[in-house]
Amino acid sequence: MITKGLKPERVFYYFEELTKIPRCSLDEKRVSDYLKDVADALGLEVHQDEELNIIIKKPGTKGYENNKTVIIQGHMDMVCEKADDFEIDFSKDPIPMEVREDLLIAPHTTLGADNGIAVAMALAVLESKEISHPPLEVIVTTNEESGMTGAAKINKDLIDGKILINIDSEEEGVILVSCAGGRRVTIKAPIKLKDSDKKGYTLKVSGLLGGHSGMEINTERGNSNRLLGRVLDALKEIDFDLYHVDGGSKSNAIPRLAIAKIGIDADKLDHAKTIVEKMNKLIKVELQTSDPDVSITLEEGEGIKEAFQDDLRDGVIAALILIPSGVQRMSQDIKGLVESSNNLGVVKTVDGYVTFESAVRSSNSSLKEFTSNQIKTIADILGFQFEYYGEYPAWEYKKDSYIREVFKEAYMEITGEELKVEAIHAGLETGIFNEVLGDIDMVSFGPNMWGVHAPGEKISISSVERSYNLLLEVLKKID
């Protein structure tokens, strides 16, 4: 095993087992069945619903039988992203990972620590006969990464706990007590074609870092879809044809790569190359700190016979430029917190449409509506279709919280330091659980992770151990 010898041993054992099981969002049957099989083998009560969510119950240990029931919660799916030049079939291949000093890293893909580490910690606790803990209800949800639809379908009649510990945060020494709400927004342009006899070329934006569209939207990293729109707009002076656009793969990941297939008259090729090179230099300067390896290239492609009609070409370019991207507003109450944002995560040409998929986030419901309406207005002006889905609520700060105080006390006893209490712009399932399960007391925490939702995702091995020990101490303290 790659993780042999790492501590906590059983946490990393289960984590590595999870990396062997395909679990991209909406492909969770195999991992859900695995979790059910583990629970059955441990002789625990387990429920698997139609959404493939898993609920596992374990009685309190001796002396803790009548203490408050605690919910430990995480999600089983992961964002499946890979480096452009790396081959992997996420539907069957294990995640290739390595140990590098204190890091467990997937050099060429996402690691799935978001949120496999939560599942691994929960299974290790469920398996143990030595850990002291109150009655436990472990909830492992599906499809968190593309809509949180699993959490919304949890059967509340199976849940007794009123304290929930979500292990879906990425910074040790911090607990989260509030998060943004959000929705997915899509606009679609019906494809209209014309004849074309121009020479085909591929315009490519690559080399961007990408990242989590909630956690890292404030880094101002380049968005390949937006940049593609800028270059296409600059190329309009040569009257090129456009017949395909494709960028990003997940609406909640900042897109790293985007391409456009275009047609250029032979006598205008040199002019086109000059424009592309100029834009490449300009954007390299703009992103020299956030994305130093950004590259914009024009490569020869196949000849074309059809292309988008001119009004569709112009509409696609307008949408790429006009759809809000990045931070929209910073919080006026919490320093450094993003209050509202949008990520134009996916652009694709498929099934007779050009589609633009965004992840809108805000801790303020009116600003979420405003950003959605901005995108709808763009769609209306351009004559495109508009729809939204995957709505999830914000998790509002709770003034009085028993579990928050337990975490603070346990962290102080273990480290001698104050635990940071913060809010987050990323969406968490806690907001949904507050609606589905009623007024419950929640915190979110987790070990140090970096680069989630992007190739090269990594997690600190020692931080996993410290975070797991904090969880065990918290469970011992709940009366």
Q: What is the CATH number of the domain that holds 434?
A: 3.40.630.10
Give, in order, the Cα–Cα distances in Å from 193 to each of 27, 29, 380.
35, 40, 21
For residue 219, give the DSSP letter.
Answer: G
Q: How many domains are contained in the chain?
A: 2
Tokens of 143: 């499809």
What are φ and ψ of residue 236, in 5° steps? -60, -20
Same domain, residue pair 188 and 162: no
Q: Enumerate long-range contacts of 8-12, CB under 8 Å, 24 or more apart.
A: 8/124, 8/464, 8/465, 8/468, 10/123, 10/124, 10/127, 10/128, 11/117, 11/120, 11/121, 11/124, 11/464, 11/468, 12/104, 12/120, 12/461, 12/464
Residue 293 phi, psi (nearest 5): -100, 15
* Mean pLDDT taken over the chain: 95
For residue 462, what are the domain limits?
A: 9-168+428-477
Query: Does residue 333 register a pLDDT over 80?
Result: no
Least confident of 278-287, 390-399, 451-460: 390-399
Of 438, 220, 440, 439, nearest to 338 by C-alpha is: 220
Q: Which of 368, 391, 414 is the last residue of a domain?
A: 391
Which residues are known catalytic residues?
77, 144
Provide the pLDDT for residue 426: 82
Q: Is 321 a domain residue?
A: yes
pLDDT at position 93: 98
Same domain, 207 and 319: yes
The token pair at 26 is 């909406």
Same domain for 198 and 133, yes or no, is no
Regarding whether 453 and 352 lie in a shared domain, the answer is no
Across 1-121, the runs of DSSP E, i.e. the strands, are 45-48, 54-58, 70-75, 98-100, 103-105
**Same domain? 229 vs 153:** no
Cis, peptide link before residue 342, omega less than 30° from 0: no
Domain membership of residue 144 (yes or no) is: yes
The answer to whether 407 and 467 have CB atoms below 8 angstroms apart is: no
User: Is 334's pLDDT higher than 80?
Assistant: no
- Report the predicted TM-score, pTM, of the whole model to 2 decimal places: 0.77
Does 119 lie in the same domain as 52? yes
| Residue 402 domain-assigned (yes or no) | no
Other CB atoms within 10 Å distance of the CB of residue 280: 17
- Given pLDDT bands bounded at 50, 70 and 90, which one contains residue 65? very high
Q: What is the mean pLDDT of residues 403-408?
A: 98
Containing 375, the helix (H) or strand (E) segment is helix 365-382
Residue written as token pair 């579990």: 403
Confidence of residue 153 (pLDDT cuts 50, 70, 90): very high
Residues 53 and 193 in one domain: no
Q: The domain that contains 342 carries what CATH number?
A: 3.30.70.360
* 344, part of any domain: yes
